[in-house]
């Protein structure tokens, strides 16, 4: 047991040595933070700048001004009350209540869940055993008084805090920069980000055991299966982990009116099913990884 926790601590310290993929991930985090900050300063987290008809029409804010001008015409008490009610409802939706909707659809679902979450996770997860193999230290690790499954598990426990720091911590930073809509998004979605990180880290850690250049294979998986296939109609996207992360997010934000744009095409699963799949995938990937690592020969 002492050797197990020593290996966890040693591997955790080795993960702190930044490498190329981590710098790329931090660069993407900085770029996303800058984009979110600029849009926050410009007040873009609302539907007021959207146009109707789309692209060619006037902004919603202009249409709302036209509705406000109607109140200057002489109206009876009932008409004035109806106008005030209509204008107040539209103003609340366009300027106050739409920020969470816009931030969720633009940042969380379109950029973070399908692209940045797997990319940030693989920055550390593929280095759990891959770094030892490339540095020629894996045989030294295997001579320690530990079984191979415990070595595999220790490496996973060592890389997981770094993955969570980058994914959950990065999501928190971006959400704070977005103001109230982002803060609400973090409160609603952080659990889904946490479960997604566990599953992605287990998957990419498994790839690090099976392949020498696991980072390249993990990048291909993230771009094609998560980013492209994960957004296709039908059931093919159920092979991607990000699909279940988004389904859990939809369930968490259901009370705020967040749902897939076309539910009959997207075909989401329930939040309970999504969380069960993410936890089950984590356990399955770790089990397979321990089995493969126990029987695979590593020759320098």
Q: Tokens for 13, please give them.
A: 């310290």
What confidence score (pLDDT) does residue 86 get?
Answer: 53
Q: How far apart are the first and last CA of the chain?
A: 28
pLDDT recorded at residue 257:
79
CA nearest 123: which of 171, 175, 162?
162
Q: Using omega within 30 degrees of 0 as the cis cutoff, is the peptide bond preceding 144 cis?
A: no
In this prediction, residue 217 carries a pLDDT of 84
pLDDT of residue 175: 94
The mean-pLDDT minimum among 89-103, 144-158, 209-223, 235-249 falls in: 89-103
Domain ranges of the chain: 2-18+100-295
Share of the chain above pLDDT 70, in %: 75
pTM value? Answer: 0.82
Instruction: Return the pLDDT at 91.
Output: 44
Band of residue 135 on the pLDDT scale cut at 50, 70, 90? low
**240: alpha, beta or left? (left if phi > 0; alpha if psi -120 to 50):** beta
pLDDT of 196 above 80: yes
What is the mean pLDDT of the segment spanning 256-271? 81
Q: What is the pLDDT of residues 4-31, one digit of tens each?
A: 888 888 888 888 776 778 888 889 999 9
Residue 92 confidence (pLDDT): 47
pLDDT at 288: 94
Structure tokens, 175: 């959400």
pLDDT score of 85 more than 60: no
Q: Please report which residue ranges of 107-233 form alpha helices under DSSP H.
A: 117-125, 127-135, 138-142, 148-177, 180-210, 214-220
Q: Over range 230-245, report the average pLDDT.
A: 80
- Are residues 117 and 242 in contact, defined by beta-carbon separation less than 8 angstroms? yes
206-245 burial code (b ≥16 CB/10 A, e <16): bbbbeeeebbebbeebbeebbbebbbeeeeebeebbbbbb
At 93-121, the pLDDT tens digits run: 445 556 788 888 888 988 899 889 999 99
Residue 169 has pLDDT above 60, yes or no: yes
Of all residues in the chain, the percent with pLDDT exceeding 90 is: 32
Answer whether residue 202 shows pLDDT above 70.
yes
Mean pLDDT value across residues 35-49: 79
pLDDT at 61 (0 to 100)? 53
* pLDDT tens-place string over residues 278-295: 999 999 999 999 998 888
pLDDT given for residue 39 in this prediction: 87
HSE (side-chain half, CA atoms, 13 Å) at 182 = 21
Question: What single DSSP character describes residue 239?
Answer: G
Residue 261: which pLDDT band, with cuts at 50, 70 and 90? confident
| pLDDT for res 60 | 53
So what's the pLDDT on residue 54? 62
pLDDT greater than 90 at residue 64: no
**pLDDT of 240 above 80:** yes
With a CB cutoff of 8 Å and minimum separation 6, the contacts of 219 are: 119, 122
Share the mean pLDDT of the chain.
80
């Amino acid at each position: 047991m002492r050797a197990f926790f020593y290996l966890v601590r040693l591997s955790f310290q080795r993960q702190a040595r930044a490498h190329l993929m981590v710098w790329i991930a931090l660069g993407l985090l900085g770029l996303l933070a800058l984009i979110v900050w600029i849009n926050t300063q410009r007040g873009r987290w609302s539907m007021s700048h959207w146009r109707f008809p789309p692209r060619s029409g006037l902004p919603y804010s202009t249409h709302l001004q036209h509705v406000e001008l109607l109140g200057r015409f002489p109206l009876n008490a009932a008409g004035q009350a109806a106008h005030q009610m209509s204008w107040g409802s539209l103003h609340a939706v366009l300027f106050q209540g739409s920020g969470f909707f816009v931030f969720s659809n633009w940042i969380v679902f379109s950029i973070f869940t399908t692209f940045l979450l797997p990319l940030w996770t693989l920055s550390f997860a593929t280095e759990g055993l891959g770094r030892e193999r490339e540095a020629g230290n894996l045989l030294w690790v295997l001579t320690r008084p530990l079984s191979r499954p415990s070595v595999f598990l220790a490496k996973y426990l060592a890389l997981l805090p770094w993955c969570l720091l980058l994914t959950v911590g990065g999501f928190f930073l971006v959400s704070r920069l977005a103001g109230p809509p982002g803060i609400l998004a973090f409160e609603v979605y952080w659990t889904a980000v946490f479960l997604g990180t566990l599953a992605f880290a287990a998957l990419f850690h498994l790839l690090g055991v099976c392949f020498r250049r696991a980072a390249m294979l993990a990048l291909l998986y993230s771009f094609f299966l998560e980013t492209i296939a994960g957004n296709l109609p039908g059931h093919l996207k159920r092979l991607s982990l990000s699909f279940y992360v988004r389904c859990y997010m939809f369930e968490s934000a259901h009370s705020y009116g967040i749902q897939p744009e076309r539910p009959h095409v997207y075909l989401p699963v329930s939040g309970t099913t999504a969380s069960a799949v993410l936890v089950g995938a984590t356990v399955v990937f770790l089990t397979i990884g321990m089995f493969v690592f126990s029987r695979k020969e590593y020759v320098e």
